[in-house]
């Protein structure tokens, strides 16, 4: 790095060395790492391992290996400036990371989902060779109820500031509110002066539109000894408002000037919008009422593991947005910063969530072991890092925490039984009869909410709760701005009575079980699995039905939940469990199952049939989706379903013969169906509006597999070593019809 007049933050991902071994000597500069593997970050070593029943993560954690690994990076600086300072930013390391620079221990951070920064200045050689070493310990498992991955699985950045006086890490805070026909934009800037000699500087903030044109600006003078904070207010008349349909963003340019020269600069993306959660009218954005049509999303990217790939993450969000999804819940931890950047620019609202456990754990080595020492810092850092994102509309301080009840930690419960235990009905003895001022868990809830509000007071706070009684300790605290239910959609009707004056949201819903392309008939029978606590569900297929007719014992079908939410004005919306399948938590099965069945989209990125039900309800796109396939045994009776919109009726034909016209009776019906005998050939559904055909969908019986069809989602790739193309592989017959029963193992070179 050469001498610069302003800060430089550069990606620090390339040319790391990695070893799956462990020795204290690996922290030392002179350690011989010549035999180590060379790689670029982000990196997840767990996904490179084999699935095995003996791995301590269990099938709930993906049945993949954890362990301990080391990363080392050699780098050289060419900087003769005595005033410059160096920092390193890690967006996420899973987990228990210890960082060393030139043999000196810089810091330790156990929570694998939070980003952190270290000051390298005391030990860095500005004009010479340096070695940074990172020990990552993910050996104490299980520590999650899903697949976590292992390693430096998010980006790393090296930051240089040219002066001893600089803008703090996450030190710029931007928020706005309506002020008549204008919006007031408040900007707080925190500064540090490492010289510790009083200095007078100018803080200048300017707002730029999307094209980089100046909108408005202001400046003020501040005298700083060690630390200082300034607050400025700018006003914009008739701004472009950020919305789901038009996610307009501005940039705030913060400059620090000394002696007329810029000594530090930071750019912050922001958006201007207003929103409201009403206890009677539900949710509105910029004064427009709408449902939050959201999904929960774990952080892994299927076969890519947890290592961040921007193209893969964008693909996930784009497919959800195309379905009509307008919100993401980061389940159940702080996400990669890139997810929030994408939500800002794509128009997806976010519930940003901190923890899956507080003091009382769900697995032997989960966040409960860290909570006492780290919760305040981790929660604060999440809010400080994320609070400028216009996409974030609420904070969640926890998910299904045991502190809802007056119960102790359940160490003896197996991972496979945790979800059932969490959602079992409890009698009154498990609920508190103390008032909130004497209820230790209510006081803890208040404490966590206060931590959030200290860092950001512009967004409401909620928590995902699966105890719906007002005596739930979290609800009793009075600290939650939004009552959030996980499941229990039948109790939504009692919310106004039980929680008068409180806005309401389904923080987690549905948990239906589906395997793409597998169908259990009769389709009008509903199957639950697992049936009850400590009673495993066994089915030799290891599949779940892709009709909307199978769900867990604590949940419901997609259609049943959506029907309640759609027709309940005070319900702000929902976050469906889940948008995509994810590695781990293979409910209702045990090993060799090792990934979930909950997703609307499967692990490879193919929509399940229910995707089109939501698309028909949540978008204006024309939808006509007939399923299942048309390859069955002669003599079979087959249930055919159809999701549709923008039509009055649909008619089914089997080999040209009508099987009858179907139409939805009312706004509570979401599909139509026929039960017909199988005849090889073709089935066709025709949609009509006002007696005019508006759509047609045909499915043909496929012949024997004949060839493989490859289809790429793009024709060109950037030659940057990071860009991805997703190639769909289909086994088809000689006429190009997809063979739905083909199960050939296909090898790629």
Active site residues: 400, 508
Contact (Cβ atoms closer than 8 angstroms) between residue 625 and residue 642: yes
* CA dist., res. 483 & res. 504, Å (int): 5
Cα dist from 423 to 227, 420, 466, 491, whole Å = 48, 5, 6, 14
Tokens of 259: 């002696």
Q: For residue 563, what is the enclosing H or E element?
A: helix 558-566
Outline where DSSP puts E strands in 358-410: 392-399
Phi, psi of 319 (to 5 degrees): -65, -35
Q: Which of 73, 66, 125 is nearest to 99 (CA)?
A: 73
How does DSSP assign 280-295, residue by residue? TTEEEETTEE--EEEE
Burial classification of residue 744, based on how many CB atoms lie within 10 Å of its CB (0-12 exposed, 13-18 middle, 19 or more buried): exposed
Say how many residues make up the chain: 749
Chain centroid offset of residue 473 CA: 26
> Dihedral angle at the C-alpha atoms of 533, 510, 58, 114, nearest 10 degrees?
-130
151: Cβ–Cβ under 8 A, 6 or more apart, which residues? 18, 42, 43, 44, 45, 46, 69, 71, 93, 94, 136, 138, 307
Calpha distance 154→308 (Å, rounded): 6
Exposure string (b/e) for 680-708, b if CB count within 10 Å is 16 or more?
Answer: eeebbbbbbeeeeebbebebbbbeebeee
Q: Which residue has the tokens 């019809």?
A: 737
Q: How far apart are CA 305 and CA 138, in angstroms?
A: 15
Cα distance between residue 486 and residue 508, in whole Å: 4
Q: How do beta strands 349-353 and 392-399 pair?
A: parallel
């Amino acid at each position: 790095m050469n001498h610069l007049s302003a800060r430089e933050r550069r990606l620090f991902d390339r040319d790391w060395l990695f070893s799956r071994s462990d020795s204290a000597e690996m922290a030392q500069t002179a350690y011989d790492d010549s035999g180590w593997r060379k790689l670029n970050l982000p990196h997840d070593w767990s996904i490179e391992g084999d699935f095995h029943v003996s791995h301590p993560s269990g099938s709930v954690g993906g049945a993949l290996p954890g362990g301990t690994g080391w990363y080392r990076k050699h780098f050289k600086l060419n900087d003769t400036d005595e005033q410059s300072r160096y920092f390193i930013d890690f967006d996420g390391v899973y987990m228990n990371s210890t960082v060393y620079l030139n043999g000196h221990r810089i810091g330790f951070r156990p929570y694998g989902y939070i980003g952190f920064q270290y000051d390298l200045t005391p030990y860095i050689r500005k004009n010479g060779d340096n070695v940074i070493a990172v020990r990552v310990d993910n050996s104490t498992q299980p520590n999650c109820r899903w697949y976590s991955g292992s390693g430096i699985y998010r980006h790393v950045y090296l930051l240089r500031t040219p002066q001893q006086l600089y803008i703090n890490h996450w030190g710029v805070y931007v928020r706005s509110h309506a002020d008549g026909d204008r919006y007031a934009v408040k900007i707080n800037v925190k500064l540090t002066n490492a010289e510790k000699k009083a200095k007078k500087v100018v803080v200048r903030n300017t707002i730029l539109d999307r094209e980089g044109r100046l909108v408005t600006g202001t400046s003020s003078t501040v005298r700083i000894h060690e630390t200082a904070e300034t607050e400025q207010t700018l006003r914009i008349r008739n701004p472009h408002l950020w919305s789901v349909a038009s996610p307009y963003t501005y940039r705030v340019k913060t400059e620090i000037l000394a002696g007329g020269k810029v000594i530090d600069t930071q750019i912050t993306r922001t958006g201007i919008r207003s929103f409201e959660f009403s206890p009677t009218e539900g949710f509105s954005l910029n004064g427009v009422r709408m449902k939050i049509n959201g999904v929960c999303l774990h952080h892994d990217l299927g076969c890519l593991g947890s290592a961040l790939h921007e193209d893969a993450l964008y693909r996930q969000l784009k497919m959800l947005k195309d379905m009509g999804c307008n919100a993401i819940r980061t389940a159940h931890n702080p996400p990669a910063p890139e997810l929030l950047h994408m939500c800002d620019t794509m128009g997806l609202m976010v519930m940003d969530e901190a923890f899956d456990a507080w003091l009382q754990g769900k697995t032997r080595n989960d966040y409960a072991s860290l909570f006492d020492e780290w919760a305040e810092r981790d929660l604060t850092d999440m809010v400080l890092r994320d609070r400028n994102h216009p996409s974030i509309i609420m904070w969640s301080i926890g998910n299904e925490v045991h502190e809802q009840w007056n119960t102790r930690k359940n160490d003896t419960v197996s991972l496979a039984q945790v979800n059932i235990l969490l959602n079992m009905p409890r009698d009154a003895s498990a609920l508190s009869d103390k008032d909130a001022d004497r209820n230790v868990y209510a006081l803890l809830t208040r404490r966590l909410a206060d931590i959030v509000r200290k860092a950001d007071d512009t967004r409401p706070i909620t928590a995902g709760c699966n105890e719906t009684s007002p005596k739930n300790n979290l609800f009793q605290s009075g600290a939650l701005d939004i009552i959030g239910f996980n499941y229990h959609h039948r109790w939504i009707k009692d919310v106004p009575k039980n929680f008068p004056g409180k806005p309401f949201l389904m923080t987690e819903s549905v948990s239906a079980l589906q395997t793409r392309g597998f169908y259990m008939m009769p389709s009008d029978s509903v199957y639950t699995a697992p049936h009850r606590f400590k009673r495993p569900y066994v089915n030799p297929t290891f599949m779940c039905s892709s009709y909307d007719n199978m769900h867990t014992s604590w949940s419901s079908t997609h259609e049943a939940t959506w029907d309640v939410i759609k027709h309940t004005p005070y319900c702000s919306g929902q976050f469906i469990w889940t948008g995509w399948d994810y590695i781990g938590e293979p409910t209702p099965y045990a090993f060799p199952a090792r990934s979930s069945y909950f997703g609307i989209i499967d692990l490879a990125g193919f929509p399940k049939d229910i995707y089109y039900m939501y698309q028909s309800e949540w978008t204006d796109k024309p939808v006509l989706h007939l399923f299942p396939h048309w390859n069955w045994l002669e003599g079979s009776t087959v249930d055919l379903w159809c999701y549709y919109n923008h039509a009055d009726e649909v008619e089914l034909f089997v080999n040209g013969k009508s099987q009858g016209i179907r139409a939805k009776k009312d706004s509570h019906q979401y599909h139509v169906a026929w039960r017909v005998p199988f005849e090889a050939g073709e089935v066709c559904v025709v949609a009509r509006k006002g007696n005019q055909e508006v759509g047609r969908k045909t499915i043909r019986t496929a012949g024997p597999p004949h060839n493989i069809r490859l289809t790429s989602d793009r024709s060109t790739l950037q030659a940057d070593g990071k860009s991805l193309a997703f190639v769909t592989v289909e086994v088809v017959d000689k006429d190009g019809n997809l063979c739905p029963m083909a199960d050939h193992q296909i090898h790629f070179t």
